[in-house]
């Protein structure tokens, strides 16, 4: 399983945020590639990247893949990249003295396949969609995709294999995703993402090998209240820009229509209006479509005609009406467009695994091609096991598509919180029962990248997913590889680790790394040993310096302005809490040395009071509230320290 127990998680988190030489050691280790490839073997010494490189392109290489390859080679020190086509004949002499050839293209292209064999790579027996092979030997690197998506993902892996200014790791990789659908659904309530946020997210999804974005923001009236109405030209232009951005980054822009508040299932006009609306997005380039029938009442009809056709409202009759509507869309619209993906659908009963008249009718009558979403054993489940997903697949009669309500923060228990723990508590092997996973993110788009990074990695390779390893990789991604900024981000993430459910249960603990440090310190302090106390003060003091300097380091080292803007109140509060912890330790140090630390304790209390008063940015999140930073852990320690 790719999960950790609470004690192990605390130890991992503590190690992840340790102010040590870990960053320097990591630079000499083999590169971490995320998502974790299915097979990745070292192939000798790193490949030297000279100033001049030849790039030979075969079939199925689009402009986006070329851009990623060129960026990776440039990051590795290439200055001149001469591009040409592959061929069965021997390659031409290296131009401008180039001594490295990079070959990219479809593995079905004989020239690419030959180059792959020559570089020590292997072609898998089954060419799974989106898969790729990558090999490097001597003066050749080969990126061979099972299809165009695979070439792009091979390029994304090459980007992560850069080990120095003039080197790329020599490896042999064969890889493909475990789940065909991986990404996010913009399905939260409250402040929606901006158009700029969405464009940025779509580019990010390409980097992490996510391929799905479901567009269903709650503020788009043309999805819900006015679902029958065509989009005005300006809004349609924005959607087209999103679709083009998604396509460029190998992401399916999935348009989700929510007609359930007013649809008359038995009215041919409404059915036709739904198909016409989807058709208007098809004309803009969308090829993936979704009908949302969640968060509606199915104990009443929207029109008398439905009562006449389906009988009294209820679970079974609602299932019949919805099956008819969805089958009409699949048969009359999707099947008529061969390049369209199968219809996706979130049902009114979207959580749990209990059978019902509603599920029974849909299981029996719904076209098997239609993809059904499921949120787990609850709306916000504390964990998801293979057995849970298999039960859901049985009750729906097909593999289910997980809508995972993490890290969404639009409900009462999340007030004042960012949810930045690793993606966790999802069992290895879920690909056997799931067709995919999309995460429902936060109102804050950029901080959501931490969880989305993990969700995409898990959906790609759930059998070899390590939540903390991927958490660290997400921090390094946001830090652009800078060790000090990565360490500061991990310390920040730890203070925003708590993940609640709809009830009283928290499925991720708050600040496990910090909590473990404070527990160690408290034990040493209570031992009464002067030597142990001073050693504990030094150790915790070093981490307090990381916390108190984290906000400044993040603001200096993270290049994403949206991340800095959207986390601002949390960074402001962290700055104050870090200062309060330092003042608390000054008080304990003074009391240990001279018997009096009241001035420092008073300063700590004042800083803590100011930190606790910081609030969310109005209009940017739901619900609004006081900012929470390591609550129940850091505030408790600071309050109790004067009496220790």
Which domains are present in the chain? Answer: 36-175 (3.30.379.10), 181-478 (3.20.20.80), 506-643 (1.20.58.460)
pLDDT at 145 over 50: yes
* Contact between 116 and 133 (Cβ < 8 Å): yes
Q: Which of 249, 204, 213 is nearest to 65 (CA)?
A: 249
Of 28-42, 315-329, 561-575, 630-644, which range is least confident? 28-42
Query: Residue 499 pLDDT > 80, yes or no?
Result: yes
Say if residue 65's pLDDT is above 70. yes
Using the predicted structure, report yes or no on whether residue 94 has a pLDDT greater than 80: no
Query: What's the rounded mean pLDDT across residues 607-620?
Result: 95
Tokens at 419, concatenated: 């949810």
pLDDT for 401: 98
Q: What pLDDT is stored for residue 3 in this prediction?
A: 34
- Cross-sheet strand order for the sheet of 80-85: 39-42, 171-175, 132-137, 140-145, 101-106, 52-57, 80-85
Query: Is residue 101 scored above 90 in pLDDT?
Result: yes
Q: Of 29-33, 290-294, 345-349, 548-552, which range is least confident?
A: 29-33
**Among 516, 537, 459, residue whose Cα is nearest residue 634:** 516
Nearest-angstrom CA–CA distance, 207 and 513: 28
Selected catalytic residue, list 238, 267, 295, 545: 295
In three-state form (DSSP H/G/I as H, E/B as E, the rest C), the secondary structure along 515-545 is HHHHHHHHHHHHCCCHHHHHHHHHHHHHHHH
| Active site annotation includes 295 | yes
Identify which of 513, 549, 526 has the alpha carbon closest to the alpha carbon of residue 634: 513
Tell me the three state secondary structure of residue 495.
Answer: helix
Q: Give CA 425 to chain center in angstroms.
A: 15
Q: Tens digit of pLDDT for each residue in 223-279?
A: 999 999 999 999 999 999 999 999 999 999 999 999 999 999 999 999 999 999 999
**Residues with Cβ within 8 Å of residue 372, at least 6 apart in sequence:** 345, 346, 347, 362, 366, 396, 398, 400, 401
Query: 1-30: per-residue pLDDT in tens?
Result: 333 334 445 555 566 665 443 333 333 456
**Collapsed DSSP state (helix, strand, coil) of residue 18:** coil
pLDDT at 91 over 50: no
User: Tokens standing for 548?
Assistant: 């108190």
pLDDT of residue 18: 56
Q: What is the pTM of this model?
A: 0.94
**What is the rounded average pLDDT of the residues 470-475?**
98
* pLDDT tens-digit series, residues 189-220: 999 999 999 999 999 999 999 999 999 999 89
Q: What is the pLDDT of residue 217?
A: 95
Instruction: Check residue 16 and give its pLDDT.
Output: 60
């Amino acid at each position: 399983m790719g999960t950790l127990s609470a004690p192990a998680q605390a130890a991992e988190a503590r190690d992840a945020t340790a102010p040590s030489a870990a960053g320097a050691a990591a630079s000499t280790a083999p590169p971490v590639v995320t998502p974790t490839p299915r097979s990745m073997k070292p192939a000798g010494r790193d490949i030297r990247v000279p100033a001049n490189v030849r790039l030979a392109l075969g079939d199925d290489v689009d402009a986006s893949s070329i851009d990623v390859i060129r960026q990776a080679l440039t990051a590795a020190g290439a200055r001149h990249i001469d591009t040409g086509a592959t061929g069965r004949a021997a390659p031409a002499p290296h131009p401008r003295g180039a001594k490295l050839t990079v070959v990219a293209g479809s593995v079905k292209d004989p020239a690419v396949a030959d180059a792959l064999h020559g570089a020590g790579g292997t072609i898998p027996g089954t060419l799974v969609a989106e898969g790729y092979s990558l090999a490097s030997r001597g003066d050749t690197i080969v990126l061979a995709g099972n299809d165009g998506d695979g070439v792009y993902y091979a390029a994304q892996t090459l980007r992560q294999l850069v080990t120095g200014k003039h080197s790329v790791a020599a490896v042999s990789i064969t890889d493909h995703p475990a789940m065909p659908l991986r990404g996010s659904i913009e399905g939260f309530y409250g402040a929606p993402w901006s158009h700029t946020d969405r464009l940025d997210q779509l580019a990010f999804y390409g980097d992490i090998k996510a391929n799905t974005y479901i567009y269903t923001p709650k503020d788009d009236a043309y999805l819900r209240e006015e679902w029958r109405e065509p989009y005005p030209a300006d809004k349609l232009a924005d959607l087209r820009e999103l679709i083009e951005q998604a396509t460029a980054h190998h992401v399916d822009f999935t348009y989700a229509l929510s007609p359930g508040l007013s649809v008359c299932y038995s009215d041919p006009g409404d059915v036709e209006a739904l198909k016409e609306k989807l058709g208007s997005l098809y004309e803009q380039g969308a090829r993936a479509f979704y009908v949302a029938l969640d968060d509606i009442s199915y104990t009443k009809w929207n029109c008398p005609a439905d009562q006449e056709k389906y009988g009294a409202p209820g679970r079974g009759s609602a299932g019949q009406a919805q099956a008819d509507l969805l089958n009409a869309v699949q048969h009359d619209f999707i099947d008529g467009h061969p390049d369209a993906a199968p219809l996706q659908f979130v049902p009114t009963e979207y959580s749990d695994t209990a059978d019902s008249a509603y599920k029974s009718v849909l299981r029996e009558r719904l076209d098997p091609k239609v993809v059904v979403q499921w949120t787990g054993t609850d709306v916000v489940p504390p964990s998801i096991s293979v057995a849970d997903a298999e039960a859901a697949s049985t009750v729906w009669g097909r593999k289910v598509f997980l809508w995972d309500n993490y890290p969404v923060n639009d409900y009462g228990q999340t007030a004042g919180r960012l949810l930045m723990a690793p993606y966790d508590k999802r069992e290895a092997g879920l690909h056997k029962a799931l067709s995919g996973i999309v995460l429902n993110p936060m109102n804050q788009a950029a901080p959501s990248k931490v969880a989305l990074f993990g969700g995409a990695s898990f959906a790609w390779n759930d059998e070899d997913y390590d939540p903390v390893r991927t958490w660290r990789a997400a921090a390094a991604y946001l830090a652009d590889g800078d060790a000090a900024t990565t360490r500061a981000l991990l310390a920040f993430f730890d203070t925003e680790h708590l993940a609640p459910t709809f009830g009283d249960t928290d499925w991720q603990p708050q600040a496990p790394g910090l909590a473990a440090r404070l527990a160690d310190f408290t034990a040493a302090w209570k031992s009464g040993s002067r030597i142990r106390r001073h050693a504990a003060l030094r150790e915790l003091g070093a981490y307090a310096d990381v916390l108190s300097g984290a906000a400044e380091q993040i603001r200096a080292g993270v290049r994403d302005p949206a991340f800095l803007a959207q986390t601002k109140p949390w960074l402001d509060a962290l700055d104050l809490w870090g200062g309060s912890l330092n003042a608390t330790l000054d008080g304990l140090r003074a009391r240990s040395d001279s018997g009096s630390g009241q001035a420092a304790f008073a300063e700590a209390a004042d800083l803590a009071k100011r930190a606790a008063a910081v609030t969310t940015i109005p209009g940017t999140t739901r619900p609004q509230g006081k900012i929470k930073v390591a609550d129940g852990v850091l505030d408790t320690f600071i309050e109790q320290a004067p009496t220790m």
